[in-house]
Structure 1
Amino acid sequence: MGAAKKARTVKPSPPPVRAPRAPIATDPSRSRGRLHPEADSRTRTPFERDRDRIVHASAFRRLRGKTQVFVAHEGDHYRTRLTHSLEVAQIARAVARQMGFDDDLAECLGIAHDLGHPPFGHTGEDVLDACMENYGGFDHNAQTLRVLTKLERRFPTFDGLNLTWETLEGVVKHNGPLIRYGQKLEDLPVAIQEYNATHDLELASWPGIEAQVAAHADDIAYNNHDIDDGLRAGLFTLDEAREEVPMVARVLATVEKDYPGIETDRLVAETVRRLIGVLVDDLVWETNRRLEAEKPQTPEDVRAAGKPLVGFSDIMNDHQAVLRRFLMARMYRHWKVNRSRSHAKRILRQLFDVFLAEPELLPPNWQAGGDGAGGKKTARRVCDYIAGMTDDYAIDEHRRLFNLDR
């Protein structure tokens, strides 16, 4: 027998550098607490505890069956709201850790941000908003708050998950203040008005730094996974992306230079991975520039800054605008996607109409709290029921109600 191969010695890499806690980071030991007082955990910070409560929530599990562009049954490889939320949480945590912010809170906000989305992505939201036009409307952000504070029922003495003020503030305000440019509290969705009356989320201020990070992590995740999913679905080609999106073309060129002749699947995966890195690097660089210019010293300085302190550079915003226009033309308005959207519209509209007219068709636990056919409370119960559905459940429920062969 030949001599055994000698194991190759690999020099260990230095541990990743974790930035010291920044003075503007949210301090879990100084949390403003929960609406319903609870004893602190002996093993977890308040934000770790919030994250764990969300992960164990039924609304979080249902995200696995909710999609953004494709319908769940169209393929196993496309992102769902669940996988998207995990990607957002990972990016948010990595950025927060690199910059010395509270990575547990950033991760928690990434996990929670899509809990209020209905089935069938943005199409579902548009349909429910139209259905609820005379009953207070529908907004996925307000629905997320409703899920977290009312619809989840896992504790013996209160509804909702009783999350910290910082988590709820970040969920509601991650895209910025809700009261600005002449807008008033009464202009906001009812769910936000009602909760804010008992637990003031300071809706006129900017959110904490971790919420701002999570919002941009959302942008990074969905732009890049839509490239991946669109290519997998054959809605556009790699050459079309190369020709029409300069940022993609440049990153593709670096991958092809480093790995000549690489197979297409690996080329796409490595390109998406590097694109995420490019966006993260730009986000960190630009955020550091803004922080150096503004010099906030406390978390409250961030909220009082009057403008976002986390963001992309102007150049990167221009690049992302080109990418979004490409995805809009080639993916979101593709005829195959339009067909799925058309089916989704009819399914949700018909479900809403029949449940509103005949609320006795709702499961018994969803009938409680209504006010009869056509009533405002019944409409909100119907909306909550439909918004919680997965894509496949909505399709099956529609068949049960409208297909005489079932």
Structure 2
Amino acid sequence: MHPTAGPIDPPGLLAGGLAPWASDPTRSRGRRHPEPPPAPRTEHQRDRDRIVHSTAFRRLVYKTQVFINHEGDLFRTRLTHSLEVAQISRSMARLLRLNEDLVEAIALAHDLGHTPFGHAGQDALDACMAPHGGFEHNLQSLRVVDRLEQRYAAFDGLNLSFEAREGILKRCPRATAERLEAEEPGGVGRRFLDGTQPSLEAQLVNLADEIAYNAHDIDDGVRAGLLQVEQLQGQPLFDRFRAQALAAHPALTQQPRRWLAETLRHMLSAQVYDVVDHTRATLAALAPPDADAARALGREHGPLVRASADMRRDSASLKRLLFAALYRHPQVTAMTDRARGVVRELFEAYMGAPQELPPDHAAKAERDLPRAVADYIAGMTDRFALREHHRLTGRRVFDGDVL
């Protein structure tokens, strides 16, 4: 049995079996708009529930991960990716005695601000918005939960807890952090100015996101025929578990889909165990007395939730291979180039004819047209963006567009 098969109890457990350095839901820093306690739920269970019921979360099912939505039904989407990140995050949080409900909320919300067509859409929208403050999907995810969701009578957004919002904002340039700090002193922008880290739960979700990418992009790339297994040979993180799978199940040589799944399953588990083991040792050595002390240790030590040096090296090597062989594959780049054109032309069309925006966005456009247009486009699914593009331009960009 692997040493991380069960949680190890550190001294001084909090209520609910949480480690002393975990985010304690009874000590949340609260919400921007005060609300009564959510009993019998915890604060972070309320966060998770609001995210799952949000419009932006439902839209993730038709937003690109790597392959544009119309290319096939079995490829990952932003929704399935978010669910995989949530599952990996909860598994690690349980072993580390961290707050499972908080990591689930952060994981499910971390991509809410992504544009249609994945990173290609983000790049195109950022270029369009360059004269108007730019566009970045992490900041847009925060904007979604703080302002854009319209589900409650008393406030805009979802009014999530500070801890959930802190985890959603994974990165932030200094100028933006200064603006956020001016709007919300001591809020989610502060750590980017003082050099601290977010909660351990937020750090954990960041790693779970990377672990999920490694495994599912290989799976989708091979399924699409764009990535050959032979290209992965020489990658330590893949070769080791491929050899183990075939040694344990020789018959799988005739079942490539199954041995690939077996390899990826063990590869993913090994990364999870490595993060848990390395983080557990780090926390035992530093022994922060509470969650805020763990945040402050980031000034000197960086993230406390991290993989071993060997695993980071092997993971980085695999990412470089995937970047060159899959993300820059001619078929992928041909699709993403067209997708960038769709986003750019949508932006130009709405800027030139604001009356084409729906009424709720048109009202915001009177105050800030570029940001209203960016909000509208960022909230689109792949297929809705293609329909709108066809409506506004009369052209189809992809064969078999869903109209």
Report the TM-score when normalising by structure 2.
Answer: 0.90
- Report matched runs for 1:3-402 at 5 Å: 17-19=6-8, 20-172=17-169, 174=170, 178=172, 184=174, 186-188=175-177, 192=180, 196-197=184-185, 199=187, 201-203=189-191, 204=194, 205-241=196-232, 243-262=233-252, 263-305=255-297, 306=299, 307-371=302-366, 377-402=368-393
Matched position secondary structure for 1:32: coil
The structure-2 alpha-carbon separation of the partners of 1:404 and 1:248, relative to structure 1 and needing over 3 Å to count, comes to closer
> What residue identity is the alignment partner of 1:259?
H
Q: Deviations over 1:67-120 (max 9, x none)?
A: 121100000111000000000011111101111111110111111111011011
> What residue identity is the alignment partner of 1:78?
F
CA contact (8 A) 2:44 2:161 kept: yes
Q: What is the Cα deviation at residue 294 of structure 1?
A: 2.1
> What residue identity is the alignment partner of 2:144?
V
Q: Distance in 2 between matches of 1:59 and 1:90?
A: 20
CA contact (8 A) 2:63 2:117 kept: yes
> What residue identity is the alignment partner of 2:344?
R
Q: Distance in 1 between matches of 2:313 and 2:103?
A: 26
Q: Distance in 2 between matches of 1:316 and 1:195?
A: 40
Larger Rg: 1
Q: Distance in 1 between matches of 2:188 and 2:144?
A: 18
CA contact (8 A) 1:244 1:326 kept: no
Q: Deviations over 1:277-310 (max 9, x none)?
A: 0100110111122223322121111110112101
The structure-2 alpha-carbon separation of the partners of 1:100 and 1:400, relative to structure 1 and needing over 3 Å to count, comes to same
The structure-2 alpha-carbon separation of the partners of 1:283 and 1:198, relative to structure 1 and needing over 3 Å to count, comes to closer
> Any unmatched runs of 5+ in structure 1?
1-15
Matched position secondary structure for 1:369: helix
In structure 1, what is the equivalent of residue 14 of structure 2? none
Q: Distance in 1 between matches of 2:395 and 2:220?
A: 36
> Any unmatched runs of 5+ in structure 2?
9-16, 397-402
Q: What is the Cα deviation at residue 402 of structure 1?
A: 0.7
CA contact (8 A) 2:178 2:189 kept: no
Q: What is the Cα deviation at residue 380 of structure 1?
A: 0.3
Q: Distance in 1 between matches of 2:348 and 2:202?
A: 37
Give the number of aligned pairs. Answer: 377
CA contact (8 A) 1:114 1:144 kept: yes
Q: What is the Cα deviation at residue 239 of structure 1?
A: 2.3
